[in-house]
Amino acid sequence: MKKKLFAAALATIMTVSLVTGCGKSTDTSSQTSEDTNQTASADKLVVGTNAEFPPFEYLGDDGEPDGFDIALIKAIGEKIGMEVEIQNMEFASLVTSIGSKIDVAIAGMTVTDERKETVDFSDPYYEAVQCIIVPEGTVFASADDLKGLKIGVQLGTTGEFIAEDIEGAEVSTYNKAVDAVNDLNNGRVDCVIIDANPASVFEAQFPDKVDVLQGTAYGFEVENYAIALPKGDTELANKINAALKELKEDGTYNKLVAQYIEN
């Protein structure tokens, strides 16, 4: 008896959910266009970043995120008439937060095909190439010399992806770039593959311990940084891309590069 009651209850619930499911579905066609506009139509653009990647983003002296990316997105916000609010969070949380807690993310994010499956990217705003940090005096003749080496990288960076593709390489993934460089100095790894900007910082910090080699000499591809956007939000993408183009044309972009990156 109990079983029958349960079955009846279950059947009722299922029928109701089918009917209500149907009811909603007839409405959705008219609603969807409004839904997609929601984030874009607000006057506030909530931007996520991870302020641990100087000079693109870092915490300024006042404890607020600052850097090239932050200045750029604020300039974009001005162009498209939206107030920019920055939220600093873990790099790993950025993408899952897009579309809910934040509208877009700017954090020196490299465009890859795999990432494109989860998020959309704006037009690229910066080109970077990876560098190799080696112990003082070491020189690699060609890409072949990298095969089978112990390579240190930082978690989630392009250096990690490059190192994994090198034949026979033993890759150690560190939380922080400085840990990788410390282990290079301790002799645990043979070289460190990392973005050009942090590489030059380390070269300045350990002038008689490490050298920096340009990755282009070893066939590393140029990578593009772009703003990550909610998947399918073409309206916001178009706005941001147009603003980006304007900023490049009116010289603001070059000014920011000079101010934050080349200085």
Partner 1 sequence: MTLIELITTGYAVPCSVLSDWIAKTADRFNTAFIEQNRYIQYFKGLGVTLEVALFAGIIGIVIGTIMALFKLSTTEDGKPTIWNYIASIYIDVIRGTPSVLQLMIMYFVIMASVDNQILVASLSFGINSGAYVAEIVRGGILAVDKGQMEAGRSLGLSKAATMWHIILPQATKNVIPPLGNEFITLIKETAIVGYVALSDLTRIANQIASKTYDAFMPLIGAAVIYFVIIKILTILLGNLERRMRRSDNR
Q: Which residues of this protein are in contact with partner 1, per CB under 8 A? A: 17-19, 21-22, 25, 91-93, 95-96, 112, 114-115, 117-119, 152, 155-156, 160-161, 172-175, 179-180, 182-183, 186-188, 228
Contact 181, 199 (CB under 8 A): no
Choice between 228 and 237, CB closer to partner 1: 228
- What's the min distance (Å) between Cβ of 84 and partner 1? 22
Least Å distance between CB 105 and partner 1?
10
Phi, psi of 48 (to 5 degrees): -95, 145
Measured from the CB atom, the residue of 52 and 246 that comes closer to partner 1 is: 52
Given the complex with partner 1, which of 117 and 262 has the nearer CB atom? 117
Report, in Å, the least distance between residue 44 CB and partner 1.
24
Beta strand 52-53 pairing with 57-59: antiparallel
- Cβ proximity to partner 1: between 80 and 95 the closer is 95
**Calpha distance 97→101 (Å, rounded):** 5
In the complex, minimum distance from the CB of residue 240 to partner 1, in angstroms, rounded to a whole number: 18
Query: In angstroms, what CA-CA distances link 177 with 133, 150, 157, 255?
Result: 11, 15, 10, 28
Residue nearer to partner 1 on the CB measure, 119 or 247: 119
Positive or negative, the CA dihedral 40, 25, 100, 245 is: negative
Q: What is the Cα gyration radius of the chain?
A: 24
- In the complex with partner 1, the residue whose CB is nearer, 45 or 94, is 94
How far from chain centre, in Å, is Cα 59?
17
Q: Check residue 88 and give left, alpha or beta (phi > 0: left; psi -120 to 50: alpha).
A: beta
Inter-residue contact 214 to 133 (CB < 8 Å) = no
φ, ψ at 117 (rounded to 5°): -70, -25
In the complex, the smallest distance separating the C-beta of residue 28 from partner 1, rounded to whole angstroms, is: 9
Question: For residue 42, what are its two tokens?
Answer: 């607000």
Q: How far is the CB of 133 from partner 1 (least distance, A)?
A: 15
